[in-house]
Amino acid sequence: MPRYALQLDLQLFAGEKTEKATPKKRQEARNKGQVAKSMELPSAFILFGVTLLLFGYGSIMRDKIESMFVSTFYDYLNLEMTMNNVSVLFAQLIYEGFVLLAPIFGLALVMAILASYSQIGFLLTMEPLKMSFSKLDPIKGIANLFKLRSLVELFKSILKMTVIGLVVFFTIWNAKSDFIEMGRWPIIHTFSFTAHLILMLSVQIAAILLILALFDYMYQKYEYEKNLRMSKDEIKQEYKNSEGDPLIKGKIREKQRRMALQRMMQDVPKADVVITNPTHFAIAIRYDPKKTEAPVVVAKGMDYIALKIRQVAEEHGIVRMENKPLARALYDQVEIGQTIPADLFQAVAEVLAYVYKLKGKTNVN
């Protein structure tokens, strides 16, 4: 049977977002306020913390509220109804109420800050508050209603209401006998039982909301990472924008190498001697006792550059000497512009002495 091969153009998949976001894109998204954050977590933390606070602080609130009512009816009821007296009374009650509720408000604020900081850290940006007419697009708004994210939010709301409703139902159902007997209880006992039942329900609901909020945060994290994914082309383009086009950088480096080679070749005619390998390495050395205490390597190279150094030296009558071990040691140990190290100074001094003798110069100690 004949086989048919289906040819695929791999470039069709180049724009598919399969790669994790780069640190640069993550930082840009963070600066715009785009972070993985669950709006359910702060409210669950607040409800859970305030409920736990009321277990210890509830009796103090009860006594304080009772004292406020007693003071109002026994101490202020017989006061003359003047504007000044009423103002003082209301100011006193407002102050006492604020002091009474301050721990709850303070704890709620702390829990909200902790819940937000645990998710995104410290972030202060005004980008989400900027005016954007795209947010007012009704067609886009209707389309968002049918996205997967909207369906997930609807499912979360239904799940929360269902779970909370079941918890409330079973809690009240288990206490139905107490509700039947409540008519014969003293009023203080009724209030105490009702407050305890409400607190227990609050703890259970807060714990459930906290668990659901943690799952919601994991989902938000997943969605955030998914939306931040990049294609291979985007990563390449970001690298080009941040680091520069590799082709352009290569041309710049090549130009820099040419300029450095040109400057180096301009110093070869100033050399006293060129030590060779004889063909693979060439090192040009210059010694000026007025400027330096030791000979200096003014040019060096291997293969093609070594050939160019020898050609320039021949054109300008620079003495060339073959010394394979010394040439290799100088090439490996000494950079251009550096003086000869102490362990090679004796060998180089002998070469320079021989060169000076050839040129009829006086040997410099």
Q: What is the pLDDT of residue 140?
A: 62
Angle of the 246-267 helix axis to the 304-315 helix axis, nearest 10: 30
Q: What is the pLDDT of residue 144?
A: 61
Token pair belonging to 58: 């509830």
Q: What is the pLDDT of residue 303?
A: 82
Longest C-alpha distance within the chain, in Å? 132
Q: What is the pLDDT of residue 155?
A: 85
CA angle 269/274/357 to nearest 5° reads 95
Beta bridge pairs of residue 276 = 282, 322
Residue 275 CA to residue 139 CA, distance in Å, equals 80
Q: What is the pLDDT of residue 34?
A: 78
Q: What is the pLDDT of residue 362?
A: 45
pTM for the whole structure = 0.54
**How many other CB atoms sit within 10 Å of the CB of residue 357?**
11
Residue 108 CA to residue 46 CA, distance in Å, equals 5
| φ and ψ at residue 14, rounded to 5 degrees | -65, -30
What is the DSSP code (8-state) at residue 341? P
Q: What is the pLDDT of residue 176?
A: 85
pLDDT over 70 percentage in the chain: 84
Closest C-alpha among 300, 289, 291 to residue 330: 300
Q: What is the pLDDT of residue 263?
A: 77
- The stretches in the chain having pLDDT less than 70 are 1-15, 77, 79, 126-148, 241-248, 260, 361-365
Q: What is the pLDDT of residue 243?
A: 61
The residue ranges of every structural domain in the chain are 36-124+136-226, 267-359
Fold of 267-359: name from scop (3.40.1690)
